[in-house]
């Protein structure tokens, strides 16, 4: 099958498109962009390289992906890029920008988006962010640079995440949350600045978590947020809980990897 490209689209000869890719009217695809099978590019989308986009993605109108980052140290010829996995939905006016050289030894200058993510209108993913899979970013959720988002995270509309923060797997942010610290796996936060409210029980129920695991997660949450203990003491007390339960182990691993304070 030939590449299905609208005649008004502009595609650089150095871009690489699978034969099943569809490109809508007035889309612009630059040099160094690679697009996998069955991906659809909407009208007026602008894709800049270097960028690798996997298979079965749907990128809607006016998305701007792969541009140089809004970091004053970034240069056009930096060996940085955007890497997007498979099966993602990226809606209108989403912006995802290239990495920087600041953590090139760790992240290879890449801004990364995993698989099956659902990114709604006007979301912004800044330089060097690392996004897992199966996440949902509601309208206008925005990440500053170097943010890490785990699998199955849900960001409520207008959520703002400060640079270098981490949000662990299965966490949830409420509408208009201002996240200025790390959010452990399974935790729900609300407000600006965002504060923990509970564990994400509804999300865990929908994903069919074992009730025993949910109970163990809740016990760990109470230890972290309601015991009033120092974080060093909390880590020590979580060790036997983590040995007994894999999910609590993920929470402890997250705490041990902290570079910023917890949202508390």
Reply yes or no on whether 182 is catalytic. no
Is 145 in the active site?
Answer: yes
CA–CA separation, 75 and 254 (whole Å): 33
Q: Is 222 exposed, middle or buried (0-12, 13-18, 19+ CB in 10 A)?
A: exposed
Strand pairing report for 195-199 and 187-190? antiparallel
- Contact partners, residue 228, CB within 8 Å, separation at least 6: none
The catalytic residue among 71, 128, 134, 182 is 128
Q: Is 170 a catalytic residue?
A: no
Vertex 106 angle, CA 102 and 112, to 5°: 85
Q: Is 92 left (phi over 0), alpha (psi -120 to 50) or beta?
A: beta
What is the residue-wise DSSP string for 47-71?
E-SSEEE-SS-EE-TT-EEEEPPS-
The residue annotated as part of the active site, out of 62, 124, 127, 170, is 127
Measure Cα distances from 1 to 25, 37, 249 in Å: 19, 11, 48
Q: Which one of the listed residues 36, 145, 156, 157 is annotated catalytic? A: 145
Quote the DSSP letter at residue 101: S
| Residues with a known catalytic role | 127-128, 145
């Amino acid at each position: 099958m030939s590449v299905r490209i609208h005649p008004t689209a502009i595609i650089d000869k150095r871009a690489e498109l699978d034969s099943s890719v569809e490109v809508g009217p007035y889309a612009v695809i630059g040099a160094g962009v690679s697009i996998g099978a069955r991906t659809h590019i909407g009208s007026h989308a602008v894709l800049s390289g270097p960028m690798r986009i996997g298979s079965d993605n749907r990128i809607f109108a006016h998305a701007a992906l792969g541009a140089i980052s809004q970091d004053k140290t970034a240069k056009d010829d930096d060996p940085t890029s955007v890497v997007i996995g498979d099966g993602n939905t990226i809606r209108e006016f989403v912006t995802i920008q290239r990495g920087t050289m600041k953590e090139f030894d760790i992240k290879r200058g890449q801004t990364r988006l995993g698989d099956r993510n659902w990114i709604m209108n006007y979301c912004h993913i800044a330089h060097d962010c690392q996004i897992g899979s199966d996440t949902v970013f509601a309208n206008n959720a925005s990440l500053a640079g170097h943010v890490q988002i785990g699998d199955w995270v849900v960001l409520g509309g207008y959520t703002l995440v400060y640079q270098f923060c981490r949000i662990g797997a299965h966490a949830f942010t409420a509408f208009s949350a201002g996240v200025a610290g790390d959010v452990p796996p399974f935790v729900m936060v609300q407000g600006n600045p965002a504060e923990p409210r509970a564990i994400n029980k509804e999300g865990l129920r929908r994903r069919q978590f074992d009730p025993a695991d949910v109970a163990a997660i809740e016990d760990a949450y109470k230890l972290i947020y309601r015991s009033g203990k120092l974080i060093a003491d909390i880590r020590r007390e979580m060790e036997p809980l983590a040995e007994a339960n894999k999910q609590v182990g993920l929470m402890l691993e997250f705490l041990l990897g902290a570079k910023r304070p917890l949202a508390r």
